[in-house]
Structure formats: C-alpha cells, structure tokens
Chains A and B, each alone.
Chain A
Amino acid sequence: MQNDKSLTVKRIIIFLILTFVPAYFFEIVTVDKDTEGYLTSVFGGSSLMLYPAIANVLTRLITKEGFGKTYLRINFKGNFKYYLIGALFPIINGILAGAIFSVCYIHPYSFSENIDEAGGMTAILASILMLIDITIAELFMGFGEEFGWRAYLTPKLETLMPSPLAICVNGIIWALWHAPLITLGYDWGTNYPFFPYLGILSMCVACIFISMIFTYITKKTDSVWPAALSHTVVDVIMSTISVIIIGVQNEEIFNQHDYAYPVIGMIICPLIISIPMMFSMFRKNLQNKA
C-alpha cells in the first residue's frame, strides 16, 4: 500500500516536471510586457496546451504504467447530456459574464447598438459559425490540457486524498502552470491591487471552480472528450460571446475594469454553475455522512 502511494507520488512528480518545464520555458523566455502575457513565440503559443497530454504519455512510458484507464473512449451513447453540458457551460458562462459586466459598468446600455458596432447580424453569425468550425477543428488543443490535468493528474491525486481536495489541488497546480503569464497581465490584466499576487490567487480560485465542472463531466462520462470540448469552447468562443454582449465600442470601459471581467466570468459564474454539479458528484458521500 505504502509502495503504491510512493509510486503514485513519483508519477505525479514526473508528470509535473514534464508539464511545467517546457511550459515555463516558453512562458518565461518568449514573452514581453508589451504583449500582456501572450507569447511572442508562435510555436510556443501553438504547442503550449499540448504539453500536459505529452507529459501524460511520457510519464506512463517512463514509469512503465501502461495505458489502462486513459479516459480516451468517447462513450457518447447515453452521455449526450454531458457533452451538451460541456459545450453549453462556456456559452452560458460567456453570456452571463457579459450581461453581469454590462449591468454593473455600462450605462446606458444598448444591445442593438452593440450588434451594429460588431458589423451587423451577418458578421456576428459569421464569426460565431467560424468559431464553431475552429472549435471542432482545434479540439485537440483542449484535449491537450484535459488529457493531462483531468485524465491523469486528478485520478492520481484522488488515490492520495479525498476527491474534493484532489480537485482543489489540481486547480491550484493548473493555475500555477499559468503563473508566469499572469505576472505579465495575462487574463487578469495589470490594473488591480497586489499585482501580480492577487492575479495568481484569483487564477487558483478560478481554476478550482472550472476544474470542478471539467472533472464532473469527465467522471460522469468516463471520458476526457466532453471536458476537452468544453475547454476548447472556453478558449475559442466564451470571450467572443462576452465581447458581443458588452459591445466592441465599450472597449475603453472594459479596459478600465479588466480585473472585474475575469472575476465575473472565471470565478462568480463558474461557481454558480458548478454548485449543482458538486452536489451531484458528492451526493453519495454527503448521504453516507448524514
């Protein structure tokens, strides 16, 4: 038993080294302050999300773990609703975040003006359809991260600690993976007190809540694909939907409150969405305790 645990710890350490070293290399070497934390290396930007998946495969090979329980099966039959949750969560999240931000900061607000400023309904429809195409084609990007974080790290952590704690630890590790970029303004901007420490802390909280949702759909389907789909939709579509709702002409107001939007979109909304999922996931544990 003790041997199993130490082997799991060893595997986790190898996985983390393989995930963090190449990512930190690009995140530290190929960024500058002008790009607000976005990588200057196109190769780094294109390959960054693949390192957790590569680390999963390499760790299995290095530690001779084998390829059992990879969560690669699609398991679509009977699990359509979880795929739907995966696809719809970022869209609902984007709409909610955009709406809450608009109510709080944009006065007077006009949605029809936003549509005109974005080029009309044809342009909006075209951009949404184009983003759907990109999501389908670039599903591997979301898969790259989810195959590492949700399909490998979470199950490993769960053998060492209770599931809720494993999800939290996973979220914190996931957030720290982005840390060098946050110190340059990625996602959370630079316009907030205790920069960049508060940004890193906020990212940890955000990643815990988003991790809850992704872990929920991964566990329910026994497949990494719904989480990969959801992650890709988060990256490709979510912010565009928010931008349409907030309005491109309100960019200046958005920039003035660039910390507020991620707090709404990455902490408050995922928290609201993840609560019922958490109850569903840990209902048995709660019932047993009662």
Chain B
Amino acid sequence: MYGLLYKDFIINRKNMLIVSLAAAFMYILEFAGLIPSDDSTNTSDMPFLFQTINVISTVSAFMVIGMFQNSIYEQDEKKKYAYYITASEAGIRAHVQEKYLFSYLISVFCMIQCILLNALAIDIAKNEYNDSTLCVMLFFVQIFMRAVEIPFTMAFGAKRGNNVKGIVIIIIFLIALIYFLFGDLSVFGTIDNFWENFFKLFDIDENPKIILGLSLAGLGALGCYYVSYRISCKVYLKGVENYAK
C-alpha cells in the first residue's frame, strides 16, 4: 500500500502544488484587500466583508481541492491496471486502501493550508475572527462527500461518480435555498451581526445540543468513510468492466 501511496504522490506532486496555489488564490486576494492604504479603508476595517471573504476563501479552497481529489481515481481507471493490481500481492484491498488514505491526506493538507492562511489573514488584519472551526467542519464535510462518492466511482467509473456528487450538492443547495426563502432567518440577525450570530449557533455555552449533533455528525462521517471503504473493496472488480479503456 505504501508503494502505491508513493506512486500517487510522485505522479501528483506537481498537480498538488498547482492545486494548492489555486486553493490559496482567494486568500491571496484577501491579503491584497487587507494591506492598508492611506486614502481608503481596507477590508479589515469592515468586519462583515472581512469575515465573508474569509469564509468564501475557505469554502472555495475546499471545493478546489475536492475537485482534485476526484482526479486521483480517474488516473488508474484502466482495465489493464485494474487486473494487474487485482492479481498482484497487494491486491484490491491495498489499492482501495491507498486511494482512501491518499484522499484523506489531501483533505488534511487542505485543512492545514486553510488554517495557516486564515491565521496569516488574522495577523495581517489584526482581527479576532478565526475560522479554524469552520475548517474542521469542512474537513468532515469533505470526508463525508468522499465517503458517498468513492464507492460510486469505484463501481461505475468516475463519470457516474461525479454525477452522484452533483446530485448530492444540488440537494444540499436546494435545501439551503428553501430554508433561506421560507425559513426563519431571525437567528442570523442583520447584516452587521450576521457572522457573529451565525458563529454563535456553534457556541457550546449557548447551543450545546447543536454542538453535540455536529460532533456526532463528524464522528459519523468518519464511520461512513470506513463503511465506504469496505463497500468499495467489494464493488471494485465489478466496476472495472465499466472502464472505457
């Protein structure tokens, strides 16, 4: 398994660098907005804008790296390779294990990058707002997304796996849209205290039940990731027949 992991690391190292820079792009724009100038106010003087940009930067970084994670399964979607790895001493299990581990490491890498860039933004802006909790939450969301997506990718190929992911995203987007159209928005307050109210939802002293639910969901995502790995091991060989090459 470690040999396969090394192989994937070597194949993807340049792509990882590019993707990492792409994920940091929004942060770089944010830093540009934080640099103070004499004749105008910078974004650190506008807490709502600073926090919004920070959240967008973090979410976009996770999205960019999530897209990169998809590509690591496509690389080995060749019948010859699949039969070779099945017949090898390592077997299907090592191959699937490696993909899951590599995917997990990419998510960890993404989270570290976001936490460090966010810390740098806070130091530049001298702002107290810290979205490291958001990074941890997005990390678990990403793990859950991969847990849903990878078995479909393994069973039906990357194309159909992407379709499933697209459907999941659309469903989440629709639920959010319906809530924002018809739900109770008073909990979010006004534009001035939107983020303050939003993050207050995740304050353990005020909403212990929400934190309990989210924490369980985080652990649940890890459980799903393991179950997903077991399913992928079972369906891998069936999926090989669907490969184009």
Interface residues of A, Cβ cutoff 8 Å to B: 41-43, 45-47, 50, 73, 119-120, 122-123, 125-127, 129-130, 132-134, 136-140
Contacts and interface: CB of A to CB of B under 8 A. Distances in A.
Contact of A137 (B136, B209, B211): B136
A127 B133 CA distance: 13
Contacts of A119: 204-205, 208
Contacts of A125: 212
B220 to A, nearest CB: 10
A126 B119 contact: no
Q: Which 10 A-B pairs have the closest CB atoms?
A: A129-B215, A126-B212, A133-B218, A123-B208, A43-B119, A42-B119, A126-B211, A46-B119, A126-B208, A42-B122
Contacts of B212: 122, 125-126, 129
A45 B123 CA distance: 11
A123 B205 contact: yes
Interface in B182-231: 204-205, 208-209, 211-212, 214-216, 218-219, 222
8 contacts: A120-B208, A126-B204, A126-B211, A126-B212, A126-B215, A129-B212, A133-B219, A137-B218
A29 B105 CA distance: 32
B139 interface: yes
Contacts of A136: 218, 222
B62 interface: no
Contacts of B130: 42
B208 A132 contact: no
Contacts of B111: 137
Interface in B103-157: 108, 111-112, 115-116, 118-120, 122-123, 130, 132, 136, 139-140
B216 A47 contact: no
A138 B208 CA distance: 22
B119 A140 contact: no
Main secondary structure of the interface of B (DSSP, over half): helix
Given A46-B115, A46-B132, A73-B2, A130 B215 contact: yes
Contact of B112 (A73, A130, A134, A140): A140
Chain A CB count within 10 A is highest, among B2, B116, B211, for: B211
A136 B115 CA distance: 15
Contacts of A122: 208-209, 212
A73 B1 CA distance: 10
Nearest to A46: B119
A159 B215 CA distance: 44
Interface in B51-109: 108
Given A122-B209, A129-B215, A130-B204, A42 B140 contact: no
Contacts of B215: 126, 129-130, 132-133
A47 B119 contact: yes
Given A42-B118, A42-B123, 5 more contacts: A42-B119, A50-B112, A129-B218, A133-B215, A137-B136
Given A46-B115, A122-B209, A125-B212, A132 B204 contact: no
Nearest to A137: B136
B48 to A, nearest CB: 20
B97 to A, nearest CB: 10
Contacts of A140: 108, 112
